[in-house]
Structure 1
């Protein structure tokens, strides 16, 4: 009897076969959104279609890839937390492509300078140079060939009177921190696990404001937008007080009230009272033009004019550019920062020793929410309403110098162009999934584990191949040529078929791994047949 002969209501209750294939793929850790790419083997001349994992980091997009990314981050955190030897980071030797790009960049610069000396228009040369600079970064080189080409704006470094001063120790050339020796001669190298939160914006109950009318959504929005800068300032202060190059692995996640907060694994240790003092004395001032008084809104918005920029719709005057607005701010002796962000009073500092259950617990806690979006909807309608109000508070808040929302306050955004509209910024900071925080979810210092994330991924691949008895020889990077597959390509099988192929391959891997484990445990490998899944 086929499903066609069943009653309609019963047929509708049956799951779709493709949906079942997707669920099985999730069960086996297979990417459910594989990207098909055409690969040419230049040695054999053979073309084939290869499924490449999508690499998503969020469960909502691909649970399998998100789980692998989380496990990779956990390994990265574990390897770097309690290092007992200084990491040796030496830059790679430049390859031929990188050398050629820099040489070509030098030639373009010389031609541009020559054109400028002759009084010719250099716009085309500048565009070409900008393109090459982007290629230089994409080719694996950090920074700019010429360094900083625009003078940095400097402001007084005098601390605010409402912030306590911090001690400053002489810097030692180390990343390891102190060790302690017990009476029996055993050496301990403790580290820290620190949690930092933002201040209160109003009384909350179960993560929801008791009185939404008095809850300070405006301040909450600005704090979320500039939270990453506050974290940077905390690290700077931490290193100055500690007296060594403190290394850290940190993750940012939302509290129930939607405010971002930080969990940080720190290599080395300081007194708890000192860490709390550093957090209390850390602040970040946002020196941006005023954005509290609305100048243009509704149908009364600035008008774009080619060659001039945005104009006042009433007077026809050109609005001040971003740089002009900052110049005016610099010359005003009575100017105040647009916003000052600080940490709240809730600061947790915990000592952690290598190889203890506390270490594993903290690593799990650090990675707990890495696969969840910041604005993932919570259960109740009150919580969803709270998210909606937070998103609305962020709607017209400038998130960066290039944000279109600056037009609302009478200023042309940096790099202004036609079509900008306040309230329609495409930055992820304004999206419900991010709730104002547009920074990275994982913050790792350069000398944490002495490896890049790609190297950690390669370590994992090497372990799997060795366990499966497969060769792990380095692949010639010039052997394969990759190309995207056009939509509707007949050589690409339906998604369900590709998923099932990957599931079958994963089943073979699991069976082989189970047999190897059985051999290691002295059992009969044939007994594992059919039980590997």
Structure 2
């Protein structure tokens, strides 16, 4: 049977009335055309209809707002825009030659008076609480809540002391393990920039950290011998990997003696284990970084969870009163998480996470092609899901699929936090257990097959990296476009309203909300007008109109 084709005339037009059903099925759908046009123009393909209320005039408009997805399989324009923003953030803080932050302002007399008044209220609350005066305590709480708002408005940041005492923390020994090498501990200097070599070179560092081996794998990352591959340790290491990374930076700062700043991304390897890429400002010797990685570990003091003790017809049940969950056969309450982790009961860690022997360190000079290439490598997989980045696509081998199936099956029964409902399978009541807690079930991303245990943020940025948030970077680029238009004398062909606005979500069935395709076409039209104005401003400034599209793309959000 021959494949049907769509006949066209000399002008490329199609007479749909003369087409067969098979030929009509080959025609492009209007929704697909609109979506492809939106992708070509960098417009969100899943716009959200929001009601915008002008607080000055009272006018109400329904506008399309971007979905802001970071996954290209959900919205490629939004994901690519988010990746470019991360690239800007990584580039701006990597090779700084001066400190990105200023010294905090000195406290004013007004701020000190407010804090003194809060101290008086805190003392009065402590006295009233000791005397059992509940009504006075409630009044003081309300007064302190109002005062805290005034303190914030006065320009004070940071944590304010709580009225009620915090619960006593569990104290464990901080003595280093005997099987971990010692590290030097130097006083930390108040600087974040690296040293200058040769009077003019200030290189920075690119670092890659991986986890240990759990068994031999093939070129696709699948276990060669699944029965001997340690899936349990792989699952637990993936769950606790963020804590291990935090401990690494803590050890690094103590060892090198200055406030090391980094921009890092967490990505999966083909075998499914997470690994960490980081751009570090300044230079740290390779031998020192490898020694720090070898000496870094994280001890997990959680109840034993090697063997499932409650499943099938023996799943724990909720009991009325203060018992919480009980064993359905013995009717005895299960031990709580705090009881099971009491230092007198749990003296040894149930799991220890360490890095593997593979540590990649490379020095990078700022402003070079290599630096730009590594920034692109850092953000290369941010638009992909965890499983896509790990190579689990439609054409993956059967062995790799079986490898990931076993790993996700182990993750499904590995507790991810003290509040995880999976603890009930091991006879332990999780923290915050209540009637709605379902034994053996947890909504955390760590247990979902598409996340492979990587449940937290995939981009980790230290606080003093660039002293700018992503919101600050967007505002800077939007201001750049406005200034460019002003200098070129280009008046925007679209109204620029600065508000103030109030935003309201629309509900399904609202009569004032246009169809999705209409929202999409309006957004495309607005983007094209913005781009025309931007190109006109570039030509007036003497630059080719296609040298920079990202500023206009960022403004479109």
Same fold (TM over 0.5): yes
Alpha-carbon shift at residue 517 of structure 1 (Å) = 3.4
Alpha-carbon shift at residue 267 of structure 1 (Å) = 0.8
Counterpart of 1:13 in 2: which secondary structure? coil
Contact (CA 8 Å) 1:108, 1:125: kept in 2 or not? no
Counterparts in 2 of 1:164 and 1:406: CA distance versus 1, 3 Å: same
Contact (CA 8 Å) 2:128, 2:137: kept in 1 or not? no
Alpha-carbon shift at residue 104 of structure 1 (Å) = 11
Matching residue of 2:43: 30
1:310-355 Cα offsets, whole Å, 9 max, x none, are 011111111111121222xx014x7321111111111100001111
Q: Which moved more, 1:306-315 or 1:382-391?
A: 382-391
* In structure 1, C-alpha distance between the alignment counterparts of 2:87 and 2:212, rounded to whole Å: 29
1:451-479 Cα offsets, whole Å, 9 max, x none, are 122111111221233334479999877x2
Runs of 4+ in 1 over 6 A off after TM superposition: 90-94, 103-113, 119-129, 138-141, 470-477
Counterpart of 1:264 in 2: which secondary structure? strand
Q: Which moved more, 1:191-200 or 1:316-325?
A: 316-325
Counterparts in 2 of 1:211 and 1:116: CA distance versus 1, 3 Å: same
Alpha-carbon shift at residue 123 of structure 1 (Å) = 13
Contact (CA 8 Å) 1:190, 1:354: kept in 2 or not? yes
For 1:489-508, list aligned pairs within 5 A.
489-508=510-529
Counterparts in 2 of 1:410 and 1:126: CA distance versus 1, 3 Å: farther
Gaps of 5+ in 1: 526-531
Counterparts in 2 of 1:141 and 1:52: CA distance versus 1, 3 Å: farther
Matching residue of 2:281: 267
Matching residue of 2:382: 370
Counterparts in 2 of 1:305 and 1:40: CA distance versus 1, 3 Å: same
Counterparts in 2 of 1:104 and 1:404: CA distance versus 1, 3 Å: farther
Q: 1:241 aligns with which of 255, 260, 278?
A: 255
Matching residue of 2:332: 317
2:465 counterpart of 1:431: no
Q: 2:290 aligns with which of 264, 273, 276?
A: 276
* In structure 2, C-alpha distance between the alignment counterparts of 1:74 and 1:512, rounded to whole Å: 25
2:402 counterpart of 1:385: yes
Q: 1:486 aligns with which of 502, 507, 517?
A: 507
Q: 2:65 aligns with which of 52, 69, 83?
A: 52
Alpha-carbon shift at residue 107 of structure 1 (Å) = 8.4
1:115-173 Cα offsets, whole Å, 9 max, x none, are 784487999999999x99x999x999664642971222221111111111111223211
Counterparts in 2 of 1:144 and 1:471: CA distance versus 1, 3 Å: farther
Please tell me the root mean square deviation across aligned C-alpha atoms, in Å. Answer: 3.7
Counterpart of 2:206 in 1: which secondary structure? strand
Contact (CA 8 Å) 2:71, 2:384: kept in 1 or not? yes
* In structure 2, C-alpha distance between the alignment counterparts of 1:467 and 1:58, rounded to whole Å: 31
* In structure 2, C-alpha distance between the alignment counterparts of 1:33 and 1:106, rounded to whole Å: 53
Gaps of 5+ in 2: 1-13, 546-551
Contact (CA 8 Å) 2:121, 2:140: kept in 1 or not? no
Counterparts in 2 of 1:326 and 1:117: CA distance versus 1, 3 Å: farther
Counterpart of 2:82 in 1: which secondary structure? helix
Counterpart of 1:204 in 2: which secondary structure? coil
1:5-51 Cα offsets, whole Å, 9 max, x none, are 42112222223211221121111111112222212212112111122
Counterpart of 2:362 in 1: which secondary structure? strand
Counterparts in 2 of 1:135 and 1:483: CA distance versus 1, 3 Å: farther
* In structure 1, C-alpha distance between the alignment counterparts of 2:431 and 2:208, rounded to whole Å: 35
Contact (CA 8 Å) 2:47, 2:67: kept in 1 or not? yes
Matching residue of 1:200: 213
Counterpart of 1:74 in 2: which secondary structure? helix
Counterpart of 1:26 in 2: which secondary structure? helix
Contact (CA 8 Å) 2:424, 2:440: kept in 1 or not? no
Matching residue of 1:191: 204
Counterparts in 2 of 1:453 and 1:218: CA distance versus 1, 3 Å: same
Q: How many residues align?
A: 512
Counterparts in 2 of 1:67 and 1:141: CA distance versus 1, 3 Å: farther
Q: Which moved more, 1:24-33 or 1:12-21?
A: 12-21
Q: Which moved more, 1:6-15 or 1:467-476?
A: 467-476
Matching residue of 2:531: 510
TM-score of the superposed pair, with normalisation by structure 2:
0.83
* In structure 2, C-alpha distance between the alignment counterparts of 1:457 and 1:254, rounded to whole Å: 29
Counterparts in 2 of 1:311 and 1:90: CA distance versus 1, 3 Å: farther
* In structure 1, C-alpha distance between the alignment counterparts of 2:135 and 2:429, rounded to whole Å: 25
Matching residue of 2:8: none
* In structure 2, C-alpha distance between the alignment counterparts of 1:39 and 1:187, rounded to whole Å: 52
